[in-house]
Homo-oligomer: A and B are copies of this chain.
Amino acid sequence: LPPPSPPPREQPIVSCLVCLDSAGTIKETSRTLCSTVCGHVFCSTCLEEAVKRKKQCPVCRKKLTKKQYHPLFI
């Protein structure tokens, strides 16, 4: 018999920090998962809204322009 496999490690589920939709849901609904350069993750819809309205990161309030975030390929 093969040895028992180790218990699976806990893996984070990546979600938009504004709408809380998971990476899976974001992809299924034609949005893009994005990260700011401050390292906070959002869906493209919530991030574009934040850049337009507040010009700052919804989590840490760092000043945000379009150059300060990018799509995240996970």
Contact partners of A11 in chain B: CB under 8 A:
13-14, 22-24
Cβ distance A7 to chain B, nearest Cβ, rounded Å: 11
Please give 17 more A-B residue pairs, beta carbons under 8 A apart, in addition to A35-B70, A38-B70: A9-B24, A9-B25, A11-B13, A11-B14, A11-B22, A11-B23, A11-B24, A12-B14, A14-B14, A35-B39, A35-B72, A37-B37, A37-B70, A39-B73, A40-B73, A41-B72, A41-B73
Which A residues lie at the B interface, using CB under 8 A?
A: 9-14, 22-25, 28, 35, 37-41, 70-74
- Top 8 A-B pairs, shortest CB-CB distance: A9-B24, A39-B73, A39-B71, A11-B24, A11-B13, A14-B74, A12-B74, A39-B70
